Amino acid sequence: MHRSPSREAQPTQTAIRSMDREAIREVLAQAGLGELRGLQRIESGLGTRRFYRVRLAESGKRLIARVEAPEDPAGRPAGIPPEPPLEPLRALLEREGLPVPRRLGRFVPGGIALLEDLGDRSLTRVLPEAAPARRRHLLCAAVDLVPRLQRIADPGGLPAFQRCLGPAHFAYKAELFQRYSLPLALGRAPRRSEGEVVREAFLWIAEQCAAAPQRLAHRDLQSQNLHLVQREEGETLVLIDLQGALLAPPEYDLACLLGDSYVEISEEEARAQRSRIRPRLPDAPAADLFEKRFTWLTVTRKSKDHARFLYAARERGDERCLRSLPRTAALLRRTARSCSGDAPALARLAELVHGLPEDDPCAR
């Protein structure tokens, strides 16, 4: 694979846009929060939103400015509407007692949101350095958020409850995997029949998941989106990147969290967490079906993640996630193999996935 320009060479990741600076000044004034003293661009994820750490002139306090931007066309499935605004979902989760960023100032749709500064202690950074007992405590705290999310009901007309993980999402994941990851697994361009194997497997999984209970899911519940913050009530894990929430099978957020691409979570740890939390889910799925759906959803999620990492490097010159490719490939291979006996379509997919290299293809 051709190595793209380094992340440091990408001005879009670190440069402060003058138009953003002026817009943030205006929003601060409108909110009565004071004058801007300092502005620092924060490295964001694979999305297109921009984030700045803002320092206020008089108080010296810090907050986060979240600047909306048009979605990357490759970031969502065809036929699926764009993500809704952060509000009123954030406010609903806050009312329901979920740990979310506090809002400062009034909300302006499509504009700049001023939010509490949660610092830089994401689980991605904290877990690898944690002692075993603390690591288990933090993992339990993260997993415990899942049933709390799933118990929240639609107060009436909230967009998150009108969005559902459906066939278009699975088709999108399959298409991404065919385009970016499958050639890497095969060592050549895929044949039409090999692309069809991926489509059939993901369609089969979509059909099985359509019969599952549909509960509110964060949709991207992974270590990068959980920040450890000291609040009045003590040390708390706070959810960020909330706007993509939708209805999904009860195993979906767990597949994202326990199959994290950025932090190593052993099979033993993941299994223990699933066993602990399954009876506490609102639908308490039967153990066998719960494990199967968890595995199927992990296959589709890790396929999408692997492909998105390659897409970001090739199409956008963003190589930050390439270091996570080996972990993602290893988990995808193992999970696909474990469910290959569930359906002929999954057995054929496992054969293709087996060819994914478990090292950084750029390092060769």
Place of tokens 């620092």: 40
Residue 184 has a CB neighbour count (10 Å cut-off) of: 18
- Top CATH class of 7-363 equals alpha beta
Backbone dihedral angles phi then psi of residue 240, each to the nearest 5 degrees: -125, 175
User: For the packed helices 167-176 and 287-316, what is the interaxial angle rounded to 10 degrees?
Assistant: 50
Model pTM greater than 0.75?
yes
**134 φ/ψ sector (left φ>0, alpha ψ -120 to 50, else beta):** alpha
Q: Is 33 in contact with 56 (CB distance < 8 Å)?
A: yes
Domain boundaries in the chain? Answer: 7-363
Token look-up 């499935």 returns 77
What DSSP character marks residue 345?
A: H
Q: φ and ψ at 217, to 5 degrees?
A: -130, 140
Encoded amino acid at 300, one letter: T
Q: 3-state class of 39 per DSSP?
A: strand
- CA 195 to centroid of chain Cα atoms: 25
pLDDT tens per residue across all 364 residues of the chain = 333 333 333 434 567 888 899 999 999 988 888 899 999 998 877 777 899 999 998 888 999 999 987 776 655 666 777 888 899 999 999 999 999 999 997 766 668 899 999 999 999 999 999 999 999 999 999 999 999 999 999 999 999 999 999 999 999 999 999 999 999 999 999 999 999 999 999 999 999 999 999 999 999 999 999 999 999 888 999 999 999 999 999 999 999 999 999 999 999 999 999 999 999 999 999 999 999 999 999 999 999 999 999 999 998 888 988 999 999 999 999 999 999 999 999 999 999 999 998 766 554 4
Please state, in angstroms and rounded to a whole number, the distance separating the CA atoms of residues 139 and 270: 9
